[in-house]
Amino acid sequence: MKKLLSLIILTFFGCTLFAQTANTVATPSSSKPKLVIGIVIDQMRYDYIFRYWNKFGNNGFKRLVNDGFFCKNTTFNYMPTYTAPGHAAIYTGTTPSVNGIIANDWYDKETEKHKYCVSDNTVNGVGTNGIEGKRSPANLLTTTITDELRISSNMKSKVIGIALKDRSAILPAGHTANAAYWYDGASGNFISSTYYMNELPLWLINFNKKELPKKYLSQPWNTLLPIDQYTESLPDDNNYEALAKGETKPVFPHKLPELMEKNGGLNLIRNTPFGNSLTKDLAIETIINEQLGKSSATDFLTISFSSPDHIGHLYGPNSVEQEDDYLRLDNDLAELFKFIETFVGKNNALVFLTADHAAPEVPAYLSDLKIPSGYVKEKAMVDALKKYLTKNYQDTLVLSYSNQQVFLDHKTIKEKKLVLQDVQNDVASFLQDMPEVAEVVTANTLNENQFTQGARYMMQNGFNAKRSGDVLVNYLPAYVDYSPKGTTHGSPYSYDTHVPLIFYGWNIKKGSSTEQVNITDIAATLAMMLNVQFPNGCTGKPIDFIAH
């Protein structure tokens, strides 16, 4: 009897203990950050952090690396690596094949015209009467992590996107954002569209009245440090940098007040580090006036620093201009982080920083180093293709060649009773023989196969069956369709796909990892941390060592 009683008591307490343990494990944490800040730097190579490390201060990039978690092996898993697809992939957690943002602009098969990624003729500008205001996220086919945060909070969370570039403000903020603000170079103001609001908030009107772009451009762009200290870059006067209109050499100081008239007026700020400073100023003003991080719901501010891309295109990754840009951006980040920690507290803010793409070396520079590289003459290549098709089919059959994709004339192919697949294969075979081409793949091949690695895997992830072309082309490494001055991006190679990713702040442990992370994993990771649904097209996976 005593044994039976003991067994009953043990069983009772054991079950009670199990129930308590189970409840402890099963109860989700209600703790969330007050504010999430997503920072995307346009055209940031992974190696910049280490190249400029000794010149960075302690409170910008170094603060993120030393006190946050650095995912060192973060890569894009599709091509083309452009600005719009990059921002879309980060926030939707999926590739262009699903979210539909296949490029910054693309040939629209329905209208037979080129479409800009965030163009929307159903809306009007707010703060402008120009076409720059007719913008919205309507062309984005899936939700974003910012959308899911809004939905999960019953629309109580505030989401705002800011950037100099419209696409870099709009796509991260998603479909349900409270606002997105971008820069109008004609007026020097930040604007929006009727997709979000009917008039600009008073605080932004007052911010625009400060005329900060004019103030920033009223001074020459000199180097932050003595120029002889820029030992990580090529000499200031070299043969691989483009010229601003009105300059005879691409060297410091850049006399901005004198250059404005011939270089787009107030739009010139995009090509200077002061574009980053202006964006930082707006970020701080947005947080203060919208009281982000001060309510019971988690708020989300998306920030994109666009100037590094403009500067990289002009001067290249080894220029003193780009180094100075990053040293000044480091100071801007330090100011932003200090403000955030004062306003909402380090432990209440979750920050992540990454890039929408990286960039290759200037091919002309590589050629001088005897490294295989060069330039693709796309017009000549397409003219040769059209001549070939005219000879064989009595018609060029090509409607467009853009973003390294051939769009064929399906209507004419049908009228001529040709087999589309045969024409695609013929085009692919012709282009494959071009000396600058590495690989060509047809839409039919991508539709009927599943690739798991290599360039075809990247091309497939960038291929949207309804929006993409009939034949996709990948050039050889270090071959670009660009001028011999400055650089561009878009390839599936590591110089374009390897970017930094650092998490910092709320619930982030210090550390780093070299495990491979896809750029599409960011949104899935944030969803787990915020206890919200994955974006509805998400193909990424949570990063284990972040979303613990």
pLDDT digits 0-9 by tens, 353-363: 999 999 999 99
Quick count: other Cβ atoms within 10 Å of Cβ 31? 8
Question: What is the chain's alpha carbon radius of gyration, rounded to the nearest angstrom?
Answer: 25
CA distance 146 to 334: 25
Average pLDDT in the 59-70 region? 98
Shared domain for 77 and 171, answered yes or no, is yes
Q: Which residue has the higher pLDDT, 21 or 248?
A: 248
Q: What is the pLDDT of residue 115?
A: 97
Is 18 part of any domain? Answer: no
CATH number, position 63: 3.40.720.10
CA distance 422 to 387: 18
Distances (CA, A) of 397 to 407, 414, 469, 547: 9, 11, 13, 50
Shared domain for 303 and 396, answered yes or no, is no
Is 3 part of any domain? Answer: no
Q: What is the pLDDT of residue 443?
A: 98
Is 245 part of any domain? Answer: yes
CATH number, position 383: 3.30.1360.150
Distances (CA, A) of 408 to 381, 411, 472: 15, 9, 12
- Return the residue matching tokens 């040769």: 384
CA distance 439 to 448: 18
Examine the pLDDT at 1 and tell me if it is beyond 50. no
Q: Three-class SS of residue 135?
A: strand
Taking alpha carbons only, the member of 402, 521, 506, 534 closest to residue 107 is 402
Is 212 part of any domain? Answer: yes
pLDDT tens for each residue of 228-252? 999 999 999 999 999 999 999 999 9
Query: Facing residues of 36 across strands?
Result: 300, 350
Catalytic residue among 75, 81, 83, 94: 83
Shared domain for 150 and 243, answered yes or no, is yes
Examine the pLDDT at 16 and tell me if it is beyond 50. no
The average confidence (pLDDT) of the chain is 94
Q: Which residue has the higher pLDDT, 21 or 472?
A: 472
Examine the pLDDT at 29 and tell me if it is beyond 80. no
Q: What is the 3-state secondary structure (H, E, C) of 100-121?
A: CCCCCEEEECCCCEEEECCECC
Is 236 part of any domain? Answer: yes
Taking the whole predicted model, whether its pTM rises above 0.85 is answered as yes
Shared domain for 467 and 497, answered yes or no, is no
Is 535 part of any domain? Answer: no
Shared domain for 148 and 232, answered yes or no, is yes
Examine the pLDDT at 10 and tell me if it is beyond 50. no
Average pLDDT in the 35-62 region? 98
Is 280 part of any domain? Answer: yes
Domain ranges, residue 450: 377-435+437-475
Shared domain for 54 and 155, answered yes or no, is yes
Examine the pLDDT at 30 and tell me if it is beyond 90. no
Q: What is the pLDDT of residue 4?
A: 42
248 given a catalytic annotation: no
440 in Cβ contact with 428 (< 8 Å): yes
Shared domain for 147 and 245, answered yes or no, is yes
Domain count, the chain: 2
Shared domain for 360 and 384, answered yes or no, is no
Shared domain for 264 and 381, answered yes or no, is no
Q: Any residues with CB less than 8 A from the CB of 459 and at least 6 apart, and which? A: 78, 79, 439, 441, 446, 451, 472, 474, 492
pLDDT tens for each residue of 367-425? 999 999 999 999 999 999 999 999 999 999 999 999 999 999 999 999 999 999 999 99
Shared domain for 168 and 300, answered yes or no, is yes
Shared domain for 264 and 232, answered yes or no, is yes
CA distance 159 to 298: 9
Examine the pLDDT at 139 and tell me if it is beyond 80. yes
173 in Cβ contact with 159 (< 8 Å): yes
Shared domain for 470 and 497, answered yes or no, is no
Query: Facing residues of 473 across strands?
Result: 440
Is 370 part of any domain? Answer: no
Band of residue 31 on the pLDDT scale cut at 50, 70, 90: confident
pLDDT tens for each residue of 82-95? 999 999 999 999 99
Distances (CA, A) of 517 to 10, 68, 86, 359, 490: 48, 16, 15, 19, 19
DSSP states of 35-88 as a string? EEEEEEETT--TTHHHHSGGGS-TTTHHHHHHHSEEEEEEE--SS---HHHHHH
Q: Any residues with CB less than 8 A from the CB of 359 and at least 6 apart, and which? A: 43, 45, 312, 317, 487, 488, 489, 495, 496
Q: What is the pLDDT of residue 6?
A: 46
